[in-house]
Structure 1
């Protein structure tokens, strides 16, 4: 089959290249349609019960497209006219945020924060600070405000800090219609304007703010990725001593980029900017395949073949192992789509197609293009890669020495056992408070820490109470909500809770002449309905939308968590489910409580999907790659030899993530999948070379020398590509101010290093331990894919 493809490609080299470049031009027209932006809904698992509830109720009770601004008076309490004027100005400025829902702007100076009141004849609620009358300026007015803050349920801790030195302003954006960067920049302007008041400091929170901070590093990320590419090309040039090889490798990488981005553009797709690391890895994969071909071409030229003949022979010898590696990579990447998360499925299609395109853009274009290059004698002798290599010479001696092999096995099994033990504790999602995307001292994480310390908490979990009777004001639902809050407030990881039920005792007390003992829950359906109606007297439509809908069919109960770490979220969710089961039975409200809103509940839903999909992806990936190798080599023994380093890499990576406290989430999952796919490529190239070097008349005694020769040739190319990747991504850790990129650089450097050891140490040792007969049989049959 390879001979047939070779004849077709080289029958008319100009025509073949012309067709490939024409196809590239067509894909290139789709590139402008590709976009890299954050769409929050793309990060959520479809079909998950929590996510379904979130999508159903987000318009009523808030979505994750919201921003918060904390203003702190560093010179005293909030009861200072200049500070209150800054709060009022910032609240009004929130209306200028792009795509903001003006009905969902809340602070102590807005109409949304209210307190029950009576004029002697009517009970009604009025704003804590009436926006029409302005902020209090006199001593008595400020004292009255302080008393109202202390008396109003749900204000202290939620909108005013516990120590009464800071306030919170919240603004919800229209779902799906928000330009996060524009929101971030405008909010930063509002914060800077507030800080012009002496003593006022501002802190910004919310997912759009986090996205804005991440986007602010885009320029730096771009320069670091460009530097990585320069390091790769520079090291290839240094080792190979061939500008031609560097140029053709760059061309192959560029063609694959155009094809990949073109598909994304034609599909109208978008990817989260954080996954930009993945395309860079794919560029490195294209360069790696190109280097393998380039160095093999140098060998062929050194053997006396002319350029066209060398190009033909290069294709015949390298296409099969290269194609096997590419197909194995692509199958593993397509498996990312197992995760029922839109961003994962888009990414799987994008990177899978990009990888498959390397069959044309690298494995076919490179031999054709290099056959046009001028003949340069002695190129192989000038290459450092194909000269003496003490490390590879030593690895060859290690593989053929019985004693050294057993030492290697002992070390490998010990390492595997240790990593398997550690990998069982790999963190899921966010293992710490704040965001793992940024360093602990980043402004965003400092804002989260301040919020958690001074307020109820930045991380929330909202339960929706649905009334089967059609009215959540019915007493059994009011009592059930109060009971659920009481149970959860007793949990040590819950800072507090808020619902409309909290407001009713105060109204009842006022109704009973401000009698303290009357400040309890209503005692009948009629009382509950009446007090809820009184609460809304004087309010504008929508002022209580965050508590219940206007037909009273459902209401919200919001729990504030002390932090957003996965252990905290999991523990609170478990306690909440147990509490819901108990309360629903005790109050005969089966199925009334639905978990579905708040950052904590959505984080738990994503963690569930990532945990399942990672295990499923790994298992399916191992099976598929085993079957691919089995199809190619017709030997289960050789297939196992190639897959063992892949399994080891997985456990080493998970163990390292455990030690570094890096969580497994939607950002890290695809990077691990791409990184581990490199190992199977290296193994396939080396195995194919061992079989080729053994020859058709190989005996068991010929396999050892074949291993040694393969390590000196193909092993040299593997060493080059792996070490260049280790250096090029390892620098991320030292250069990037974005914690995610820095840690991924360190993790990827480790993955490349483990893949290098797996290919150059474990594969030869396994071959010499139990694979010599299989290699000899395959060599006699003619190599991979031969019958």
Structure 2
């Protein structure tokens, strides 16, 4: 485009309607953006940081629907906190320790959000003991009604624990600790509001661990979803501080590239405006930040900085050629808006395909991220050029930009890198690059076969192994047989049928089968209670330790069970939970249990008796793994299909689409291989990574390949076209890769392990997509996108590109086309190096 120094010579009514509407009213546009920023910025102060148990699970899956339909009858078998208090200087029978545990019980019982009817501990009257005597059954609460700490009361308490069989469940195996099982409700009945897990976690820390724990005397261990989420929220607040570090790193990278303070600050401000708008909209829509969505502002900021760098570079070069800053901003808008819009649309696709994952928290992440990308269309494609039309860039920065461009002809400095990369357009280098990529792809594919679905570590994989939560989890797992990894099978029959012989016999068979599955510590159900009670009615004769066919005995035992153990059957006598306590919640362990139950149900289900999956923390996680495994390939299929369509619309050439997509495919394969090597499973936290890497990674091809193709259509050879594209956009592609990686690499230091995993994987994908684009695009172009000019360079007037480029490029340029080319390039080419000569370019010169 012609360099216009005098603003009076520029036609303000030129350009499309959007350009005229924005730039001809730029003061009003900036004021409107400032007003929106102020309004949405005020909403951020009201934004909540929380999480929801229900949103973390695949709600529409049939197994989870079974859980929801029977949740009220199962008595808190989903969202449960387990608190263990340990006497470090004695055992649980120490009167002072027992008095302290009574206070802990009262504190937990009165905590808002606790489902008190189902809370369990030795201090709860619903926890009872039963024994057989010569006169019949005798029983009562485990904790004596009057406990004064005397030796007699202590001996009675000890006897009651043994009679109730609480060792390993509510009493530690070493008799040094007591457990409290605290079910939670999703909504606080007193306020009607969703439970604030951050507040609940702080309450447990301050009012239980902080109040009753004493170093060297009493230790408190807390596990469960609510505590885990509370720790994650605490980690989130630390991660938010990394935002400033990411911004500083991005600012340093951009400044080193431009050496212009004003444009660097402007780029960061526009990206921050997009983040402010996003957070304000999240609040207005009634959403909140959770451990997953808190990462979205980082991604939006990184994407915004990378796209802003493209606009800044174009304006900087135009100003260096003598163009007025206002005209340079409009020129850059014309050249880059369509390409930037397409690239942001590809980013949105990467987020949008996450909607196929049937987990609400991931759908929320996809929605908020898509909104964030939409904000970038306004802040980075419109607001940034308008702002730069006021402030411009420093004279030194613009002159330095042109000096770097002129250095290309001699290959000095970093320009030698671009000349080196242009060698990949030649056959020997292209063959080497393609062969090396093929070897990497095959090796990566075989390594990626070892990647697993779900968690691969014991404890809470969301947190570091050395975290307080995982230390607590390890202690409880080592001292109790009823682990927090509880898998529950729901046995459904007709009302008042729970004591039927067939129902109990089938339940007993399932319980026995579960005990044989590797990874199952123990299993129990109502049938065990019935068997023990029937045997007790027969003076404890072991011959009666099986399900009796006598309906009178079964009915009597069922009545006792309903009274003393309401958690093993509902009051309608139709829903029986079968409990399996697992050694861990690794994917293989869960898969074995699910396979066993599915097979058992297929063989034993009938019209009036069904075995349903699934409840309990481990059961719900097993279903989540099923959904993740199904969504993994489907999600990749959708994201690649969308990227292929976008690339075809942009390039109008199936060959160009292949050139653009193959580097993305290679990166996806290598990312899964890296996950296998690092021991990172495919789960809710890592599932979005590959889709995001593909959706954002295609930006490199959109910017680089578009310029290369346009240059080839203007008559350049492949080598010339690629070198020109590298000068105009290639260096900014490298800058984009670095800034994107800088925006997420700080996650690697997060105390939240899945955020650290996401940071490592996204950094790998952003950098490797950049490297793949810079090397594989020219190499693949040598085989797929060469024109006649590459074969007969001495006869540029006779070019037949029909076999090589899309139909839109095969038309011979007429006088009007030549005139348009001269207008776009600023006149005839005169003594210009073939590596830096201008070309008609819809993306603009950078």
Length-normalised TM-score, structure 1: 0.92
- Shifted more, 722-731 versus 397-406: the winner is 722-731
| Equivalent position to 1:146, from 158, 162, 172 | 158
Aligned partners of 2:574 and 2:425: how far apart in 1?
76
Alignment correspondent of 1:707? 722
Q: Give yes or no for the alignment of 1:266 onto 2:284.
A: yes
CA change 1:617–1:505 in 2 (3 A) is: closer
Alignment correspondent of 2:518? 492
Alignment correspondent of 2:97? 83
| Equivalent position to 2:777, from 763, 781, 784 | 763
Q: Secondary structure at the match of 2:489?
A: strand
Q: Give yes or no for the alignment of 1:423 onto 2:411.
A: no
Aligned partners of 1:658 and 1:590: how far apart in 2?
45
Structure 1 residue 25, shift from structure 2 partner: 5.4
Aligned partners of 1:739 and 1:493: how far apart in 2?
24
- Shifted more, 174-183 versus 589-598: the winner is 589-598
In 2, are the aligned partners of 1:385 and 1:720 still within 8 Å (CA)? no
| Equivalent position to 1:503, from 520, 526, 529 | 529
Structure of greater Rg: 2
Give a deviation string over 1:269-325, Cα, whole Å, max 9, x none: 234233322220111101100011111211112222111221121111111221110
Structure 1 residue 785, shift from structure 2 partner: 11
Q: Give yes or no for the alignment of 1:549 onto 2:560.
A: no
| Equivalent position to 2:223, from 189, 192, 205 | 205
Structure 1 residue 493, shift from structure 2 partner: 1.6
Q: Give yes or no for the alignment of 1:723 onto 2:738.
A: yes
In 1, are the aligned partners of 2:298 and 2:743 still within 8 Å (CA)? no
Give a deviation string over 1:411-451, Cα, whole Å, max 9, x none: 11111112222223322221111111211121211222222
Q: Give yes or no for the alignment of 1:434 onto 2:452.
A: no
Aligned partners of 1:757 and 1:79: how far apart in 2?
66
Q: Give yes or no for the alignment of 1:11 onto 2:32.
A: no
Give a deviation string over 1:495-537, Cα, whole Å, max 9, x none: 111222222233334333444544543332221111222355x
CA change 1:135–1:642 in 2 (3 A) is: farther
Q: Secondary structure at the match of 1:205?
A: strand
Aligned partners of 1:407 and 1:135: how far apart in 2?
84
| Equivalent position to 2:345, from 327, 341, 366 | 327
Q: Give yes or no for the alignment of 1:575 onto 2:586.
A: no
* Gaps in structure 2 of 5+ consecutive residues: 1-13, 188-193, 408-412, 788-803, 812-839
RMSD: 2.7
What does 1:657-696 align with in structure 2 at a 5 Å threshold?
A: 657-694=675-712, 696=713
Alignment correspondent of 1:59? 72
Structure 1 residue 162, shift from structure 2 partner: 3.0
Give a deviation string over 1:448-498, Cα, whole Å, max 9, x none: 222222222220111122123642011221122112111211223211112
Q: Give yes or no for the alignment of 1:443 onto 2:468.
A: yes
Aligned partners of 1:143 and 1:520: how far apart in 2?
32
Q: Give yes or no for the alignment of 1:180 onto 2:206.
A: no
Aligned partners of 1:511 and 1:375: how far apart in 2?
92
CA change 1:421–1:778 in 2 (3 A) is: farther
In 1, are the aligned partners of 2:353 and 2:635 still within 8 Å (CA)? yes
| Equivalent position to 1:101, from 108, 111, 115 | 115
In 2, are the aligned partners of 1:698 and 1:779 still within 8 Å (CA)? no
Q: Give yes or no for the alignment of 1:157 onto 2:175.
A: no
Structure 1 residue 24, shift from structure 2 partner: 4.9
Aligned partners of 1:489 and 1:73: how far apart in 2?
32
What does 1:745-760 align with in structure 2 at a 5 Å threshold?
A: 745-760=759-774
Alignment correspondent of 1:72? 86
Structure 1 residue 59, shift from structure 2 partner: 2.9
In 2, are the aligned partners of 1:33 and 1:266 still within 8 Å (CA)? no
Alignment correspondent of 2:792? none
CA change 1:125–1:50 in 2 (3 A) is: farther
What does 1:533-612 align with in structure 2 at a 5 Å threshold?
A: 533-535=559-561, 544-582=565-603, 584=604, 591-612=609-630
In 1, are the aligned partners of 2:707 and 2:841 still within 8 Å (CA)? no
Q: Give yes or no for the alignment of 1:455 onto 2:507.
A: no
What does 1:132-143 align with in structure 2 at a 5 Å threshold?
A: 132-134=145-147, 137-138=150-151, 140-143=152-155
Q: Secondary structure at the match of 1:111?
A: coil
- Shifted more, 36-45 versus 255-264: the winner is 255-264
CA change 1:566–1:437 in 2 (3 A) is: same
Aligned partners of 1:192 and 1:266: how far apart in 2?
36
Aligned partners of 1:505 and 1:156: how far apart in 2?
20
In 1, are the aligned partners of 2:63 and 2:614 still within 8 Å (CA)? yes
CA change 1:453–1:478 in 2 (3 A) is: same
Alignment correspondent of 1:480? 506
Number of matched pairs: 771
Give a deviation string over 1:675-719, Cα, whole Å, max 9, x none: 33221111111112223444x5315xx221121122133111121
Alignment correspondent of 1:697? 714
Q: Secondary structure at the match of 2:118?
A: strand
Structure 1 residue 144, shift from structure 2 partner: 4.3
| Equivalent position to 2:179, from 140, 160, 168 | 168
Structure 1 residue 211, shift from structure 2 partner: 1.1
Length-normalised TM-score, structure 2: 0.85
Give a deviation string over 1:730-762, Cα, whole Å, max 9, x none: 3443x4333233332222221121111122111
Alignment correspondent of 2:60? 47
- Shifted more, 20-29 versus 629-638: the winner is 20-29
Q: Give yes or no for the alignment of 1:392 onto 2:407.
A: no
In 2, are the aligned partners of 1:477 and 1:589 still within 8 Å (CA)? no
Alignment correspondent of 1:743? 757
In 2, are the aligned partners of 1:278 and 1:674 still within 8 Å (CA)? no
Aligned partners of 1:396 and 1:640: how far apart in 2?
20
Q: Give yes or no for the alignment of 1:283 onto 2:317.
A: no
| Equivalent position to 2:378, from 336, 360, 377 | 360
In 2, are the aligned partners of 1:679 and 1:758 still within 8 Å (CA)? no
CA change 1:691–1:313 in 2 (3 A) is: farther
Structure 1 residue 28, shift from structure 2 partner: 5.1
- Shifted more, 306-315 versus 396-405: the winner is 396-405
Give a deviation string over 1:198-233, Cα, whole Å, max 9, x none: 643221100111111112223321222211111111
Aligned partners of 1:301 and 1:777: how far apart in 2?
35
* Gaps in structure 1 of 5+ consecutive residues: none
Aligned partners of 2:572 and 2:727: how far apart in 1?
77
CA change 1:375–1:575 in 2 (3 A) is: closer
